[in-house]
Structure 1
Amino acid sequence: MINWNGFLRNYRLWQRRWLYPLISLTVALSLCLSTPLPSKAIDLLPLLFQGVQIFQLSNISERQEVELGKQMNDELQQEVRLSRNQQLNRYIEQVGRRLAANSSRPNIPYTFQVVEDEAVNAFATVGGFVYVNTGLLKVADNEAELASVLGHEMGHIEGKHLVKQMRQRAIASGVATAAGLNRNQAVGIGVDLALNRPRSRQDEYDADRRGLSTLTRAGYAPLAMVSFMKKLEGKSSVPTFLSTHPGARDRVKVLQRQINNQPSKGNYGLDSTTYKANIRAFLP
């Protein structure tokens, strides 16, 4: 004969110990996966997914952005050849530090690196990582023109343009979940976009505007951004740095208007002789 009283007592005990906690965990996990996560909730995901880190790009924290940038930098070293010239890297870092102190995101630990490539190009990822080719260093006439390029790329970081494009690419390709994007997928998408991204009109104008503001606050001659674009505009083969939409001519007009509306007395970095001497000494 079944002891129903004992059975019911044991069943209630089992509910309290196992069933209710299990239901609570299931509900919590469902909410994590089906609703936008605040930044604090994201930190729990590595535990729930056995160490797979998840980035919610629509709400990525500054710490996560810097971490993602470091991981992209590791991956990029398989794609590009970073210069080991310590003198050259120190010089570029020096110019970058001056700009970073006057950027709209001065708390980011910016990293400036030189890529050994004759193409006239520069690019940025996320979390403060900026790259400039040796080919562009040779084309620039002075430090202010170099600074204008670095400032433009910093503008992409300040505006989180690559983060936005990564999110769009992840959604379009179907690899993003409601929780976000796992680390390896995020790194792969980010590196591909940084090297080959189709830049939008809005992002380029925004990066120009932000870069010009940073350049001006740092005391560099703002017209250097215009002179650099004008110099490259007439070349038969359009440099990678300007092979974007909108075209260089339109960007020059907008920049010139912005400079006229906010005149500056800054004229630092226009010494062409010193810059060329430095570049010749640094580069083979």
Structure 2
Amino acid sequence: MINWQGFRINYHLWTRRCLYPLISVSVALSLCLSTILPSKAIDLSPLLFQGVQIFNLSNISDRDEIDLGKQMNQQLHKEVKISHNSQLHKYISEVGRRLAANSDRPNIPYTFQVVEDAAINAFATTGGFIYVNTGLLKAADNEAELASVLAHEMGHIEGKHLIKQMREQAIISGVATLAGLDKNKAVGIGVQLALNLPRSRKDEFDADKRGLANITRSGYAQSAMISFMKKLQSSSSVPAFLSTHPAASERIISLQRQINNQPSNQNNGLDNLAYKSRIRAFLR
């Protein structure tokens, strides 16, 4: 006859002594295998940032856009010669801040810089970074014309045109992958586009429209935007500022139509002598 009570007691003792340690070891092993050691930890923030760069550029946050602009600015300082004339920088920034207060994105901390280059050109990157050549400053007849150029470039930032171009270029060039876009590649693409490649026809018209609305709200003469384009259009060589599609003549017609539809009696910034005198003092 089997002593069931004794068997049950011995069985429970055997379970505690043999199975419980095995279970403990199994749990410990599973925890070790599923837990990433501190020395092997993966920093997910670059991957998250890369994902934003590739798949959500059209919805990029202001903070990330500004950070991207700062990185591009660091690279651009190696590509172009930035003026360190404090008086000139102060003047351009004063005009720029006046426009920024009336822009569609006044929450962005706009940064205005002067490039020492005789070419008539201006360009913008992302996050409020705008650059204007000394050649363009000399070509402008008055502050209103200068303001029209800055407002146009501000229009590109308001429309996030470069960001859209970056996304398209990354896909075309094949550097956009499921893993994301390396930040250095993103910066490189952005700098290349800002310096060398023209905006699309749609983007140029959009920047003109936004720029005209901006100078109107800021009190500058609307006519300055057209007078500047006409002056450059009649020059012997097409400047870099207008060497994009659509042609300047088309943009002038479009701007004139907008002015006729919504005229303004504001005529600030048309003092040619005051502007020329000031610019000569800055650029001598």
Interval containing the TM-score (normalised by the shorter chain)? 0.7 to 0.9
Gaps in structure 1 of 5+ consecutive residues? 23-28, 30-42
Structure 1 consecutive aligned stretches of length 4 or more whose deviation exceeds 6 Å: 51-54
Residues 174-193 of structure 1 show CA distances to partners (whole Å, capped at 9, x for unaligned) of 11223532211111111111
SS of the equivalent of 1:55 reads: helix
SS in 2 for 1:265: coil
Find out whether 1:17 has 2:31 as its counterpart.
yes
* CA distance in structure 2 between the partners assigned to 1:21 and 1:262 by the alignment: 65
Match of 1:140 in 2: 140
- Residue type matched to 1:103 in 2? S
Q: 2:235 — aligned with what?
A: 235
- Residue matched to 1:71: 71
Q: Counterparts in 2 of 1:35-184, with a 5 A limit? A: 44-46=44-46, 55-56=53-54, 57-184=57-184
Aligned partners of 1:170 and 1:145: how far apart in 2? 35
- Paired with 2:149 and 2:163, the residues of 1 have a C-alpha distance of 20
Whole-Å separation in 1 of the counterparts to 2:261 and 2:142 = 24
- Cross-structure match for 1:271: 271
3-state SS of 2:79 partner: coil
Contact 2:50/2:181 (8 A) holds in 1: no
Distance of aligned partners of 1:261 and 1:179 in 2 relative to their CA distance in 1, 3 Å threshold: farther
In the aligned structure 1, how far is the partner of 2:98 from the partner of 2:81? Answer: 25
Distance in 1 separating the partners of 2:18 and 2:181: 51
Query: Aligned letter for 1:234?
Result: S
Deviations 1:151-195 (A, max 9, x none): 000000010100011111111111122353221111111111100
Which stretch has the larger CA shift, 107-116 or 53-62? 53-62
Residue 32 of structure 1 corresponds to none
* TM-score normalised by length of structure 2: 0.85
Distance 2:59 2:182 in 1: 14
Check conservation: 1:162, 1:194, Cα contact below 8 A: yes
**How many angstroms does 1:271 deviate by?**
0.5
Q: Report the equivalent of 1:214.
A: 214
Larger-gyration structure (1/2): 2
List gaps (5 residues or longer) in structure 2: 1-16, 37-41
Match of 1:246 in 2: 246
Q: Percent identity?
A: 66
C-alpha distance in 1, partners of 2:117/2:109?
25
Whether the aligned pair in 1 keeps the contact of 2:100 and 2:110 (CA below 8 Å) is yes
